[in-house]
Structure formats: C-alpha cells, structure tokens
Structure 1
Amino acid sequence: MASSSDQVQFREYYQNWMIEQQQLLEELLQVHNQNPNDEQDLFCIIEKLIKHFQDYTNRRAQHAVNEPSSVFLPTWCTSTENSYLWFGGCRPSLLIQLVYTLCGSQLESQLTENLQEVRTDNIGGLSADQLSLVSELQCRTTTEEERLSTNMVSLQENIADCPLTRLANNNSVDSDAESHIGQVKQALDSHSKDLSSMLIDSDKLRMNTLKELIGIFTPLQAVEFLIAGKKLHLCMHQWGQLRDHIPNMEEHDREGM
C-alpha cells in the first residue's frame, strides 16, 4: 500500500506536470503561429509532447503498483474531472471524437467565411484516405475499450465472490484475528494487482491511440489537434477547480444568464 508520502510526492509531480502542460501549449501555439511550414519544428514539438505524456504514464504506472485505487480516483484531480475518468484517464475514443469535432467546426468556419477552396493543410481538411484511417482506428479502439470495460465488470463482480464474501461472513470476534487479517490482505492485494494491470493496459491504449492519430495527420494537422487537446484538458482542470471552490457555481451561472 502506498504511504501518505507517496501520495504527496505524486500530487506534487502531477501539479508540476500540469504547469508543464501549459508551457507546452504555449510552445505549440508559437510553432503553429510562427513556423507552420517548418516541418522540422513541427516534428520536434510533437515528439516533445508525446514524450511528456509517456513520462507521465510511466511515472503513474510506478505509483499504481502500490496503490492503483488512488489512480482510478485521484485526489490530485478535481471532482469534475474525476466524474469523467475512464480507468484513471480520458477514454481513448474521446481523442477520435475530438478529431471529428475539429473537422466539422473548421470546415463550417471556412464555409462561413465564403472561402472558394477548403484548406487541406489544417485538420479541417482531412482527406478521404485520412478519414478512413481514423474510422478504422475508432473501430479498433472502441473494441479494446469494451474488452477492458468487460474485464472491469468481472473484477467488480468478484468482490461478491470468494474469498472476500467468505471472509466477510466469517468476520467475528471469535475468529483468529491475525490469520483473518492476513487472508483479507492477500485477497485485496490480488484485487489491487488486477487493477494495476488494467490501468497499465488502458494507458497503453491511450498512448497507442494518440500515436496512431499523429501518424495519420500531417505535422501541421497534428499540432492543431494537440493544441485543441491541450486546451480542453487544461480548461477542464480549471473549470473543475472553480466548481470545487465555488459550491453554488451553477446558481451563479444561471443568475448571470
């Protein structure tokens, strides 16, 4: 089981990681606005961002070995963020949904501006081949999501199965306390090990989905996608902090309408 110091250390790590997220967003915007045709600069910032995410998942996997439950419902995230988590992070298919949303909004914007030709260098100009690859990736990703979700259902149902149910029913003052505690610890440790394994698998799916999407895009399209993803992530965190610290935020919102 993770100690309180482990929890504090990872919380501090996550807070620093979020600060770095903001810095990376600024770098992405700078490259996008100043050097959109410089593929070397685009590739460099893309690789930097992927490495940043990979480092985070590696560090989180190490933390999850001792206490996976703390990663599934992290105290370092806001309650709003936690309500949308899937295996401790974003659902991988959300990345693909973001692609479709960006395509639609950019295409609509270009048509509204009465452009004679739709731009093909941004994410709104994905080719038919690119969209086909995104669709294929979506099918594979949702299949893997369903597999992991099914495994989680089985793991949750195991709570009502042996040995935990037997141990709960045999929990009495007359039982051998030391032996009983040892058996409970063994059962819960086995459950935690399964949770940790599922978390690692879900992080692999998130990372693989991101990398495959990046591989489908042109460098400029990839940067635009990463900018949108970073903005969404940071805003959800900021909005969650507001809701956590302003109990009547919904009432304030309605009053301001």
Structure 2
Amino acid sequence: MEEKGKNIPQAQESCYQGWMSLQSRRVPELKQALAQRRSHEGTADAAADDKKLRELTQNIIEDFKNYARKRADLSHRGSSNYYAPSWNTPLENMLIWLGGCRPSSFFRLVYALCGSQTEIRVTQFLRNIDGYDTSGCGGASLSDLTAEQLAKINVLHVKIIDEEEKMTKKVSSLQEDAADIPISTVAYAEEHVGEPNAAVDQALDKQEDAMSTLLAEADNLRVHTLSKIIETLTPLQAADFLVAAKKLHLSMHQWGAARDRRRRECIIDNVDDAGGKEEK
C-alpha cells in the first residue's frame, strides 16, 4: 500500500530512507550490547547478556522481514524502480543484484571478518609475548568460529549460490522478453512510439509484475540467508557480524555519495580550466 500523500517513487524512496535510518540506530545498540557482554566475560552476568544479544539480533531479523514486505507491496506498482534505484548512488547500483545485495555476499563478509580478526588475535598475542598489555583490546568473536560452524556455513553458502544462479537465469529470461512480440514489432512499425499502445502497455505490465515477484523472491532469499547465518553463530558472533554488515551497507552509501561529489567537482574544474584557456 502506498504511503498517504506520496506517489509510488516517493513512497519507495521514503521506505528506503526509513530503512537506512533504522540501520543507523541499530549499530550503536549492537555496539553497546556487545561492549556490555564483553565486559562480563567469564561472569554470571554473561548468560543474561547473551539473552539480550539474541533478542536484539532477532529484532533486527524482524526489521529486515518488515522491510522486505514493504518493498514487495510497493513494487507491485513499479518494480522497475528497484532495479536501478534513483535513491542509490551509482556505486551502489553498479553492485546491485535483483534490487539489493547478493545473499552470497553475507558469507564473504563472514570469511573476511574471520580472517581479519584472527590476524588481530595473532598480532595481540605476539605483542603480549613482547611485554605489551593487551587487556581490553577487544574480544574478537568471529575468529573463534568452530570447525562445525564453518562446515555449516560452507554448506549453506553452496546452496545459496545455487539459488542465486536460478534467479539470475530467471531475470535474464525476463530481460530477453523485452525484445519479444508485441514490443519489438510496435517499436519497429510505429512512427511515434510515445503514443499510448494497449498491447505494449499490457506486455510491459506483465513484465513488471514478473520482475516484482522475482524481487520479492530475492528479498526472501536475503532474509533467509541472514537468518540461517545468525542461527549458526553464537549471540556474540551474530551481533559482531550484524554490526559489520550494517556498517558496510551504510559506508557503501556514504562512499558512493562522496565519490559522486568529487566527480562533480572534477567535471566543474575541467570545464573552468577549458573556459580559461579559451579566454586566453
């Protein structure tokens, strides 16, 4: 259902902005809960902290599910807006897959964090040998993944990649339909293709409906993947992972915006330089 007083694109962008704002609020909540849990490591309060972390991570999964439901509702009136969102930066749109991130990217983040935190642990250990004090240095959690956890994550990773490939084939087929009858024949025969054409509108509406269904499937796969990864991790590991995932999403948007500003400034400078040379 569209938001009152807004057209479809405005409602879709408002939904996205609300999601980004919620993610920004969730990061400090997670950090605070993680800090409290790590300060109680080895004490009787650790179990209560784990319960709070588990509740917080489940709330975040529900946030994601609600966002996916809202997107599904709004996409029925304009799914094409989600495949190259105007509210995204060009950098984000360059990396987009079916209206969002690839579910398999969650696994790459787990592996990257696991490796980087292990490196930090080794560095801290070596410094401790040399007499450095490492107390309060952190409490890296994803470096503590067990062999059983890694095995489960790897099996899930393979399954999700297979699901991604199936969806990619579906969207490829739908994109090819754009050159099918009656769209191609009308484009060839008509002198003024901007005029209303019932057959073309019907074909495009059918294609957008199919793309809307595929978007919902992709969002469901993203939610499912995140939920399964969280189930495999301990409360501390899950919260650590979610902090990294949310910061990556927020940072990518900010980096994209910063790159756009620099490029605009560069273009303006080049125009000014060219104008100055002509005046001389």
Q: TM-score, normalised by structure 1?
A: 0.88
Alignment correspondent of 1:223: 239
User: Could you say which residue in structure 2 is the equivalent of 1:31?
Assistant: 33
| Structure 1 residue 94 displacement after superposition | 0.2
Question: Superposed, which structure 2 residues align to 1:80-159 within 5 Å?
Answer: 80-114=91-125, 122-159=141-178
Partner of 2:98: helix, strand, or coil? coil
Structure 1 counterpart of 2:8 = 6
Q: Which residue of 1 aligns with 2:17?
A: 15
Q: Note the C-alpha offset of 1:120.
A: 9.6
Q: Are residue 41 (structure 1) and residue 52 (structure 2) matched?
A: yes
Which stretch of the first structure deviates more once superposed, 36-45 or 192-201? 36-45
How many residues in Structure 1 have an aligned counterpart in Structure 2?
A: 244
Q: 1:78-97, CA deviations, whole angstroms, 9 ceiling, x for partnerless residues?
A: 11111111001000000000
8 Å CA contact retained: 2:186, 2:200: yes
Conservation of the 8 A alpha-carbon contact between 2:117 and 2:140: no
CA RMSD of aligned residues (A): 2.4
User: How big is the shift at 1:48?
Assistant: 1.4
Partners of 1:157 and 1:6 in 2: how far apart? 26
Q: Which runs of 5+ in 2 are unaligned?
A: 39-45, 129-137, 268-280
Larger Rg over CA atoms: 2
Task: State how far apart, in whole Å, the 1-side matches of 2:224 and 2:80 are.
Answer: 23
Offset, 1:147 = 0.4
Corresponding position: 1:162 with 2:173? no
Shift of 1:12: 2.4
Corresponding residue number in structure 2 for 1:254: none
Aligned to 2:68: 57
The answer on whether the counterparts of 1:96 and 1:138 sit within 8 Å (CA) in structure 2 is: yes
Kept in 1, the 8 Å contact 2:99–2:215? The answer is yes
**CA distances 1:233-254 after superposition (whole Å, capped 9, x unpaired):** 1111111111222326799xxx
Q: In the alignment, residue 72 of structure 2 is paired with which amino acid?
A: A
Contact 1:243 1:249 in 2 (8 A): no
Deviation at 1:165, TM superposition (A): 1.7
Specify the alignment match of 2:256 in structure 1. 240
Task: Give, in angstroms, the shift of residue 225 of structure 1.
Answer: 0.4
Q: 2:201 aligns with which of 168, 182, 185?
A: 185
Q: Secondary structure at the match of 2:263?
A: coil
Deviation of residue 35 (structure 1)? 2.6
Q: Distance in 2 between matches of 1:110 and 1:169?
A: 64
Percent identity at matched positions?
Answer: 36
Partner of 2:84: 73
Q: Which runs of 5+ in 1 are unaligned?
A: 252-257
SS at structure 1 position matched to 2:125: coil
Say if 1:249 and 1:125 are closer, same or farther in 2 by CA, change over 3 A. farther
Give the letter aligned to residue 100 of structure 1. Y
- Opposite residue 135 of structure 1, the aligned amino acid is N
Q: After superposition, what is the alpha-carbon deviation per residue over 1:58-104, rounded to whole angstroms, capped at 9, x for unaligned? A: 11111111100001111111111111110010000000000000110
Query: What displacement does 1:172 show?
Result: 4.2
Superposed CA offset, 1:89-124 (max 9, x none):
0000000000000110111111111279xx998111
Structure 1 residue 163, shift from structure 2 partner: 2.4
